[in-house]
């Protein structure tokens, strides 16, 4: 396995770094990666069967990406007439609360711009971009235990943003943050941005600012293959369900848990048992394997990462029961950063996104044709 992982590590850096790799290359690269993984992975045959399908998915994805890019580049033009410049970010953020109250599409973000605002200049002066990431989300942001380095889809994106701002993909300081620390870490200045499978929603846009969406996901139930649980439905009744503290999954369970048990007795206190609500979704898989819980609710993207580590569990119910978007978060008011990240995403969606998807996600989350189209709002 170490050979394989080192290979994919350099690959991912190349993907994040260049971003200009031809479409054929990542496919070949990930095919080689699949081959090498196949030596150890019993699921290899299943994966191989999917290759041809994915090839067509890739073409469709490219087509979609082209359309989205066109929309993305045209939209700012149409708004350019209003001529809101990022330098006047403060006045824009003041408009936000009115927008947030309506909140029909929280994923709509500020228009892209590569102008240097005060916050971007501060990052440049420091010479490093401080990014809050996860080190437990397999394929998204995880620490490779063999080498100790961080890798994954989110890590690639964070490096791409660093490269755009600072010229080097390595000019990043990664800070691993627990799920419920994402918003505090931004607000107290521990990190500049958070790239950590963070869902954009109406409650959160009042606390932090988000970029445009870079991935579409949804909540899903994960349980052992032998379990009688069939999805996010009445089959959860009386079952012990695990979720991460401060996660969308927990919020959904609070809305409707179908009679599942999902809270620890001492939540939020020092005596917290950390069995049903834990600091990271991956901790749920440990509890599931040890028989302390019956099911896990988390994003399908993360649940797929869990299933990839334990072949005895699976995602239940076919499709996710929510639709949500991941965005890059910053502190409220750092509009220049938001616009800059949106600018990076504009380019990233065209080729690098696809490469990163192939590298990290295609195996466990097949059939996604491309990134969600960016939505912008006035201001």
Partner 1 sequence: MTQLQTGQPVPVHSAPTSTPTPTPAQPPGTALGLPPSGGSPVPRGALADAADRVRSAATTEPGRLRIIGAVLAALVVVFGTVTAFEITDRASAADDVVSRSQPLSADAASVYRSLADADTAASSGFLAGSGAEPAGVRERYEKDISLASQLLIKAATHTDSSSESGRQIATLNEQLPLYTGRVETARTYNRQGLPLGGAYLRFANEQMSKVLLPAAQKLYDAESSRLDRDDEDARFWPILSIALGLLALGALGWAQHRSYRRTNRVFNHGLLAATAAATVVLLWLAVGHTVARSQLDEAREHGQKSLKVLNDARISSLKARANENLTLVARGAVLTDDGKRDKYESEYGAGMLKLSDGLGRAETLADDDEGRDPVKAAATSVAEWQLRHRAASTTDKSGDYDGALDKVIGAKDSTGESFDQVDAALAKALAHEQREFTRAARAGRDALGGLPLGAAALGVLGAAGAILGINRRLSEYR
Other beta carbons less than 10 A from residue 58's beta carbon: 20
* Nearer CB in complex with partner 1: 173/203: 173
* 3-state SS, residue 366: coil
* Nearer CB in complex with partner 1: 213/365: 365
Give least dist CB 177 to partner 1, A: 4
Determine if 286 is a binding residue for partner 1 (CB under 8 A). Answer: yes
Determine if 128 is a binding residue for partner 1 (CB under 8 A). Answer: yes
Give least dist CB 284 to partner 1, A: 9
Closest CA to 11 of 360, 309, 345, 301: 360
| Total residues interacting with partner 1, rule: CB under 8 A | 43
Answer whether 242's CB lies under 8 Å from 252's CB. Answer: no
Q: In which region does residue 259 sit, left (phi positive, over 0), alpha (psi from -120 to 50) or beta (all else)?
A: left
Q: Specify the residue for token string 């978060």.
A: 329
Task: Select the residue interacting with partner 1 from 10, 91, 147, 233 (CB under 8 A).
Answer: 147
Which pair of structure tokens corresponds to residue 309? 């580590």
Q: Which stretch binds partner 1 (CB under 8 A): 102-110, 224-232, 280-288, 312-320?
A: 280-288
- C-alpha to C-alpha distances, 40 to 35, 36, 43, 289, 353, nearest whole angstrom: 10, 8, 9, 21, 27
Task: Select the residue interacting with partner 1 from 12, 136, 248, 342 (CB under 8 A).
Answer: 136
In the chain, count H helices and then E strands.
12, 14
Task: Select the residue interacting with partner 1 from 173, 202, 203, 234 (CB under 8 A).
Answer: 173
Give least dist CB 188 to partner 1, A: 5
Determine if 122 is a binding residue for partner 1 (CB under 8 A). Answer: no
d(CA 346, CA 358): 19
Determine if 291 is a binding residue for partner 1 (CB under 8 A). Answer: no
Paired strand residues for 277? 243
DSSP-assigned letters across all residues of 1-64: -HHHHHHHHHHHHHHHHH----THHHHHHHHHHHHHHHTT-TTHHHHHHHHHHHHHHHHHHHHH
Task: Select the residue interacting with partner 1 from 109, 280, 330, 358 (CB under 8 A).
Answer: 280
**Of residues 293-352, which lie at the interface with partner 1 (CB under 8 A)?**
306, 309-310
* Nearer CB in complex with partner 1: 5/25: 5
d(CA 240, CA 379): 45
Determine if 99 is a binding residue for partner 1 (CB under 8 A). Answer: no
Computed on alpha carbons and rounded to an integer, the radius of gyration of the chain in Å comes to 20
Task: Select the residue interacting with partner 1 from 108, 138, 165, 243 (CB under 8 A).
Answer: 138
Give least dist CB 128 to partner 1, A: 5
Contact map string, positions 175 to 194, toward partner 1, x by CB under 8 A = xxxx--x--xx--x-xx---
* Nearer CB in complex with partner 1: 84/331: 331
d(CA 77, CA 73): 7
Determine if 146 is a binding residue for partner 1 (CB under 8 A). Answer: yes
Give least dist CB 76 to partner 1, A: 33
Task: Select the residue interacting with partner 1 from 111, 137, 247, 300 (CB under 8 A).
Answer: 137
Q: What is the CA angle 139-144-149, rounded to 5?
A: 110
Paired strand residues for 130? 173
Determine if 260 is a binding residue for partner 1 (CB under 8 A). Answer: no
Paired strand residues for 151? 142
Which residues here bind partner 1, judged by CB under 8 A?
1-2, 4-5, 40, 128, 132, 135-138, 142-148, 171-178, 181, 184-185, 188, 190-191, 274, 280, 282-283, 285-287, 290, 306, 309-310
């Amino acid at each position: 396995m170490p050979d394989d992982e080192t290979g994919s590590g350099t690959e991912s850096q190349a993907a994040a770094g260049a971003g200009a790799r031809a479409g054929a290359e990542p496919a070949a690269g990930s095919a080689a990666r699949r081959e090498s993984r196949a030596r150890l992975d019993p699921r290899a045959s299943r994966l191989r069967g999917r290759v041809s399908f994915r090839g067509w998915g890739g073409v469709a994805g490219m087509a979609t990406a082209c359309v989205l890019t066109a929309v993305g580049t045209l939209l700012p033009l149409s708004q350019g007439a209003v001529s809101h410049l990022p330098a006047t970010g403060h006045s824009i953020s003041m408009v936000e609360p009115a927008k947030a109250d309506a909140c029909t599409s929280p994923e709509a973000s500020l228009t892209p711009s590569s102008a240097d605002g005060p916050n971007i200049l501060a990052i440049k002066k420091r010479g490093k971009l401080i990014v809050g990431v996860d080190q437990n989300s397999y394929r998204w942001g995880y620490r490779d235990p063999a080498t100790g380095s961080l890798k994954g889809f989110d890590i690639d994106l964070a490096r791409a943003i660093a490269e755009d701002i600072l010229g080097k993909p390595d000019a990043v300081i990664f800070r691993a943050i627990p799920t419920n620390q994402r918003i505090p870490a931004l607000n107290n200045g521990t990190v500049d941005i958070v790239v950590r499978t963070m869902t954009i929603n109406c409650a959160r846009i009042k606390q932090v600012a988000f970029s445009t969406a870079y991935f579409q996901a949804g909540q899903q139930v994960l349980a052992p293959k032998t379990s009688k649980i069939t999805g996010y439905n009445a089959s959860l009744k009386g079952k012990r369900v695990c979720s991460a503290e401060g996660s969308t999954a927990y919020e959904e369970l609070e809305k409707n848990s179908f009679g599942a048990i999902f809270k620890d007795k001492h939540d939020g206190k020092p005596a917290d048992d950390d069995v049903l609500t834990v600091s990271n979704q991956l901790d749920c898989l440990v509890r599931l394997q040890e028989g302390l819980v019956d099911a896990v609710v988390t994003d399908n993207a993360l649940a797929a990462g869990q299933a990839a580590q334990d072949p005895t569990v699976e995602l239940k119910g076919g499709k996710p029961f929510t639709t949500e978007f991941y965005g890059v978060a910053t502190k409220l008011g750092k509009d220049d950063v938001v616009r800059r990240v949106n600018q990076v995403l504009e380019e990233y969606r065209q080729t690098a996104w696809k490469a990163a998807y192939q590298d990290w996600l295609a195996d466990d989350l097949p059939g996604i044709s491309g990134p969600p189209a960016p939505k912008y709002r006035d201001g």
